[in-house]
Amino acid sequence: MSVKTDMLTIAMNIAENIEKGVKPLIGWEKSTEIVKIGADGTPTKRIDLIAEDIAINSIEKQCSAILISEEIGHKQIGDNPQYVIVLDPIDGTYNALNDIPIYSVSIAIGKLNNRDIDKLTINDLEVGVVRNIATGDIYYSERGKGAFVIENNIKKRINTSKTTNLSDASVGVFAYGLTTNTLDFIKDRKVKRIRIFGSVALELCFVARGSLDAFINVNKTTRLCDIAGGFVILKEAGGIISDRDGRQMDMTLNINAKNSFICSNATLHKKFVSIFGNKWKLKPTKFGIVSRADKKEAIELVHKIINYLDSKNINYELEQDIYNKIVAERRLNTFGFKLGDNDIENKDKYLMKDVSEISHIISIGGDGTVLRTSRIINGNEIPIITVNKGTVGFLAEFDVEEIFNIIDNIINGDYEIEKRTKCSGYIKYKDNTQKTLPNALNELVITTKSPAKMIQFEVFVNGNFVEEIRADGLIISTPTGSTAYSLSAGGPIVEPQVDGFVIVPICPFKLFSRPIVVNGSSEIKIKMVKKETLVAVDGAIEGELKKGDEIILRKSNKWTYFVKGRNFYENLRKLSIIDGGTR
């Protein structure tokens, strides 16, 4: 056996031999026969087995290696193997058997260097080759040398796209086992177009050359052999590829290794991770602290949290009101705060000035404090840890005694994020001028300016007239806000994950004017018919309406993120919104 040490040559030869051997089988009726169950637990068709045998013969003529392939599993070829080769002999078998020209052979190679293969990961692979068997196009890369495509015998360097806006992005989606949030993502059309090609290796290469802006599979169903060749190529093309939580891919070189993945350019990658995963599982960089400043117990808790974060060497900053309160208390020596006299004057060290530098924010108080925290975050993707020190605290996920455990969990990356829908909108005045409203986490309320005076308005959903209502006001509630003012006004309890909004009349004149739940993708329009009204967003007055003015509302493209604590129904029982009963 002649030995070659050029890994790219080895991979290119394997890919070429498989293409030559497989092409004549397209359309052969026996190609589709299932001949066994592969090492990865999926059925092996005859064409897959033939392609793998061709690869083994090709490797035997070139080098000694450990082969990892979907059908055979792990196989040592030759003595004293020099390389590890990860192979998907035909990626997109369905396409191949149905003569859809998107199927490939995918190969990745790394050096063993006398290392135990169990200690190696996908990041130890150095050469990637993906060959579109139908068209002959070849994608390849060598570590540190860039990524290339050969089309019609012309070689071109490739790089990921420069697209930065989701609304401009073309995205590939892994077709099998779509999760609810992936289906919602497709339904909501946050991106320009969705594509499903059915060949993971090629789709990674499409991202590498900028033909796709991103490719995602947020289930942990992607196999090592599917991704290895394209993974190496995409990295050399400047792409970012991680699991759905933004963590580095570290799949072991094992036939059973599986993971989720998100790949794109650096800018879009952050946005997709924030949609589908928990990008904050990496160690927090800096906590922000927002608290009620009118309660001694809340101030004491802030003091304890500060000392605890100091003991963990975690940076923190304080929101203006609580900072001022702590400075005042420190000067009075009420609680013996750890902040020194010099620190008190150094506002740059502890005062929260740029919220975008905060990785996590602790909110201490009731629901009002949580809503204030959401406004402070102002659309930045920062998870809130809510601690109940208020009157009701339905939005508070944690009790005081839990806060230090959850801080530890966050530092260790052992926690979940819950994403909450917000409502965006604007006022359209009858003179055609407009005013943009802040996003609502709980609700938007239209209410009379004069006590005991009804207002009259028309409600439209997606341009369809719903009804004309006379009432004391109207609530448009998010699922999160369904347990707030909406509930008091007779609205339904809605799970936070429901994609919808609730329209609730406040004390309507007609008893048959009932709350309505509408789809989250709906456009809601409220047109004033009589009387002047006030508009409040999450309890804060944001404007006035007169006859002929309109409010247009839709689902916001921003979310509020919470560190998840107790479940929704546990919270309902705890606050006696539903009967806890006995079990």
pLDDT at position 50:
82
Encode pLDDT of 399-418 as tens digits: 888 899 999 988 888 888 88
pTM of the model: 0.64
Average pLDDT over residues 362-375: 91
pLDDT surpassing 90 at residue 565: no
Q: How confident is the model at residue 4 (pLDDT cuts 50, 70, 90)?
A: very low
pLDDT at position 278:
72
Cβ atoms < 10 Å from Cβ of 302: 28
Between 472 and 341, name the one with better pLDDT: 472
Buried b (16+ CB within 10 A) or exposed e, 515-546: bbbbebebebbbbbeebebbbbbbeeebbebe
**198-202, 385-389, 578-582: range with lowest mean pLDDT:** 578-582
Buried b (16+ CB within 10 A) or exposed e, 559-570: bbbbbbbeeeee
Phi, psi of 334 (to 5 degrees): -70, -45
pLDDT at position 393:
62
For the stretch 143-147, contacts whose Cβ atoms lie closer than 8 Å and that sit 24 or more positions apart, written own/partner, are 143/232, 143/236, 144/236, 145/236, 146/236, 146/237, 147/208, 147/233, 147/234, 147/236, 147/237
pLDDT surpassing 60 at residue 426: yes
pLDDT surpassing 90 at residue 569: no
Q: Which of 48, 226, 243, 367 is catalytic?
A: 367
Between 553 and 510, name the one with better pLDDT: 553
3-state secondary structure of 72: coil
3-state secondary structure of 468: strand
pLDDT surpassing 50 at residue 84: yes
DSSP type of residue 102: -
Decide: 343 and 349 in contact? Cβ < 8 Å. Answer: yes
pLDDT at position 400:
87
Distance CA 503, CA 519 (A): 11
pLDDT surpassing 60 at residue 342: no
| Catalytic residue status for 226 | no
Q: How confident is the model at residue 281 (pLDDT cuts 50, 70, 90)?
A: low
pLDDT at position 183:
65
pLDDT surpassing 70 at residue 132: yes
Percent of the chain whose predicted confidence (pLDDT) is above 70:
86
Encode pLDDT of 386-397 as tens digits: 998 766 567 777
* Integer angstrom CA distances of residue 436 from 376, 439, 553: 17, 9, 10
Rg of the chain's alpha carbons, rounded to an integer? 29
pLDDT at position 177:
59
pLDDT at position 90:
83
3-state secondary structure of 79: coil
pLDDT surpassing 60 at residue 277: yes
Average pLDDT over residues 106-118: 91
Which stretch, 42-56, 260-274, 315-329, has highest mean pLDDT? 260-274
Between 448 and 459, name the one with better pLDDT: 459
Distance CA 59, CA 499 (A): 53
Cβ atoms < 10 Å from Cβ of 447: 16
DSSP type of residue 206: H
Between 401 and 554, name the one with better pLDDT: 554
pLDDT surpassing 90 at residue 116: no
The whole-chain average pLDDT of the chain stands at: 85
pLDDT at position 333:
47
Helix residue ranges per DSSP H, 219-295 = 224-236, 266-276
Chain center to CA of 303: 33
Q: How confident is the model at residue 19 (pLDDT cuts 50, 70, 90)?
A: confident
Average pLDDT over residues 208-224: 91
Encode pLDDT of 24-69 as tens digits: 666 555 555 554 455 555 655 667 778 888 989 999 999 999 999 8
Average pLDDT over residues 453-462: 92
Cβ atoms < 10 Å from Cβ of 11: 29
pLDDT surpassing 70 at residue 347: no
**90-99, 115-124, 199-208, 297-306: range with lowest mean pLDDT:** 90-99
pLDDT surpassing 90 at residue 207: yes
